[in-house]
Amino acid sequence: MNHSQSVEPPNLARNVRQALKQWHGPSHSASPLADLYLFRQAERTAHTNPRQVTNQLLLNAIEVLRQTHESAAHLLQKRFLDLMSIIQLANQLNVAESTVYGMQREAIDLLTDTVRNLEQAASAAQKALLEQRLPAATYVHLIGVDEQLAHLLPLLTAPQPPWVVAIAGIGGIGKTSLAQALTRHSIQHALFDEVGWVSAQQSRLTAGGVIQAVEKPTITATMLIEKLLQQLMPDVIFATGAAVEKMLAALRTRLKATPHLIVIDNLETLADVESLLPTLQDLANPTKFILTSRKSLYIEPAIYHFLVPELSERDALKLIRQEAQWSNLPVLAESSDEVLKPIYQTVGGNPLALRLVVGQTHIHTLESILYDLRMARGSRLSSSTPLSTATPGRVWIP
């Protein structure tokens, strides 16, 4: 699960050389190239033994090498695939044996470069594919999550329990953003070969600072399984109306064979959460699950619970200034702490609430916004009380 941050594993040249030497070796011996994403990708789809997967990987690389260095590719094929000895090659090429050894070293170096380039291209393509599965980020730079990432990342990358992590908190507190940050970090650092993301977003923030409900956000457990299969196994076609058990069996086989990171966002919107959770527990290990929910799951067994905290005053002011700067509100962005602290004192450290206040300053003065909020909710909103419509034209967190 915990693959190297670097695309290239250590000792790639040595491993390529060893893989060539094992071309005719035992079928089920461990592959020297097992740390490569190329190998793991092929192994999932080839349905064959490690040696054949390794040989096909090498053969593909040799064919690519042949396009630019035909003599090097020819030497490697004769030496390792056809098992010609150094003496035979020296006689065939009419050169000294020492010259053949030098040519072989150079050819292996060129093949290593080719494997490296293929690995980098495959890894980059996979990262781009996984990024597309995530919803568009609502942030450019997350503020106040470093400690949360430092706490949760080791849990996700360790090949041991917890297999299911529940990120809980009130609306707008940043559950989805935190899950996105964890997932993007995992993608960029190649911590998992595969990532799945299923969301049933309840509402969205418009450019005008208005919260709009999303039509039919609720999905069923069956729909969730179908969405995951579409992402992870797009080449597998199930007949219309295929039994859930058949689809679930295919998904289970996939998730058990290779560690995945699966995110289910807005878990509370599922129509049958109680029946889904045991299924997720069954699908987990070695796959890890991240669940985000406004509702706590404390009564459920074998789930690691993480409650997203509010932003501190310091981070809240940083967020206000950042949002103001990106929203072309220079006066607000350059305001002193004394001017901005009343925002935090009124709405607390809920990131979405803070962003909404900033957005409303395009239309209304900050003083009038805070006054209306205080009149509507008291001198300070509690973290458990959602914002609501304070004045006509101002819609806050539902």
Could you tell me if 31 and 54 are in contact, meaning their C-beta atoms sit under 8 angstroms apart? Answer: yes
Residue 5 placed within a domain? no
- Looking at the fold, whether 101 and 155 belong to one and the same domain comes out as no
> Could you say which of 277, 307, 337 is where a domain stops?
307
> Could you say which of 107, 130, 153 is where a domain stops?
130
Residue 388 placed within a domain? no
Q: What is the mean pLDDT of residues 127-151?
A: 91
Residue 1 placed within a domain? no
Domain count for the chain, please give it.
Answer: 3
Query: Does 396 score more than 60 pLDDT?
Result: no
- Looking at the fold, whether 249 and 213 belong to one and the same domain comes out as yes
Contacts of 270 (CB under 8 A, 6+ apart): 200, 218, 219, 220, 221, 224, 264, 276
- Looking at the fold, whether 58 and 168 belong to one and the same domain comes out as no
Query: Does 199 score more than 60 pLDDT?
Result: yes
- Looking at the fold, whether 217 and 356 belong to one and the same domain comes out as no
- Looking at the fold, whether 113 and 144 belong to one and the same domain comes out as no
What is the overall mean pLDDT for the chain? Answer: 88
Q: What is the pTM of this model?
A: 0.84
Residue 291 placed within a domain? yes
Residue 40 placed within a domain? yes
Q: What is the mean pLDDT of residues 53-58?
A: 97
Residue 7 placed within a domain? no
Q: What is the mean pLDDT of residues 364-371?
A: 94
Domain at 197, CATH number: 3.40.50.300
- Looking at the fold, whether 73 and 200 belong to one and the same domain comes out as no
Range of the domain at 330: 313-377
Residue 230 placed within a domain? yes
State whether residue 213 is helix, strand or coil: strand
